Amino acid sequence: MPDIFINSEEAPVKKVEKEIKKHPKEVHRLEGHSHSPLSSFCYFPDGVQFVAKDSQEKIVLLLRRHPITNVPWIVVAILMLFAPSVLSFFPLISFLPANFQLVAVIMWYLITVAYIFESFLDWFFSVYIITDERVFDVDFVNLVYREISEANIDQIQDVTVTMGSVIRTLFDFGDVFIQTASEVPRLEFEAVPDPDRVAKILRELRVEEEKEKIEGRVR
């Protein structure tokens, strides 16, 4: 039976990938490409290595929660930093000798530093990675527990974007829920910047995977 419709156009992500292969410096001009390691949205990031990545696999998107989601713990940290000065007006530990008071205050600042560092690590290392073949959700649940969920692009069944509050609309971030046919039925990208673009990139990659399947290509 003759083909009724053949779409010869490549998916935009694939086009960009080929362009980068030809002219590696072009990657720096891409919208959403960032050199900051603290960026929460990086399109075709440079120099990112990931433990579960294959050597041939190309990272298309690296995502973190939007920086604005850090505000609550930053506010708590500021309150913790100023707490000893404020509490000096209230004689809470004045019954202790001066040397004990000094060590108690230093310990308080030590706990504050630990809280800040842990909160930062939680934000910095909890990432969502989209490669040209797979989608990863990396979670550091507590001090020593790491969870990496992954699904193949061709196993994605449905992508849902939700943006539900004034803050989220104002700063353009939201959740992307990825329904999959893999062992992990659902991947959740929480509070990621520009969720519509994330969904669009996923859609393009899915289309490309479908075409690869039809054409019998691996990549």
Partner 1 sequence: MIPGMALSVWFVVKIFFLIAIGVYIVFAFVVVRQVGLMTDTLEVGFETPVRIVAWGHLLFAIGILILAILIL
Question: What does the binding site for partner 1 look like in residue numbers (CB under 8 A)?
Answer: 37-38, 45, 47-51, 62, 96-97, 99-100, 102-104, 106-107, 110-111, 113-114, 117-118, 121, 124-125, 127, 138, 140, 143-144, 146, 148
Tell me whether residue 129 or residue 159 sits nearer to partner 1 (CB atom): 129
Q: Is 37 helix (H, G, I), strand (E, B) or coil?
A: coil
Tell me whether residue 124 or residue 171 sits nearer to partner 1 (CB atom): 124
Minimum distance, C-beta of residue 138 to partner 1, in the bound complex (Å)? 7
Closest CA to 123 of 111, 136, 139, 137: 139
Closest CA to 192 of 210, 209, 213, 171: 171
Tell me whether residue 1 or residue 51 sits nearer to partner 1 (CB atom): 51
What does each C-alpha distance from 168 to 31, 73, 177, 187 come to in angstroms? 21, 18, 16, 20
Minimum distance, C-beta of residue 187 to partner 1, in the bound complex (Å)? 17
Cβ atoms of 33 and 27 closer than 8 Å: yes
Pairing of strands 156-162, 173-180: antiparallel
Minimum distance, C-beta of residue 177 to partner 1, in the bound complex (Å)? 23
Question: Residue 17: CA atoms inside 13 Å, Cβ hemisphere, count?
Answer: 19
Q: What single-letter DSSP state applies at residue 217?
A: -
Minimum distance, C-beta of residue 210 to partner 1, in the bound complex (Å)? 29
Tell me whether residue 79 or residue 107 sits nearer to partner 1 (CB atom): 107
Tell me whether residue 147 or residue 210 sits nearer to partner 1 (CB atom): 147
Minimum distance, C-beta of residue 179 to partner 1, in the bound complex (Å)? 25
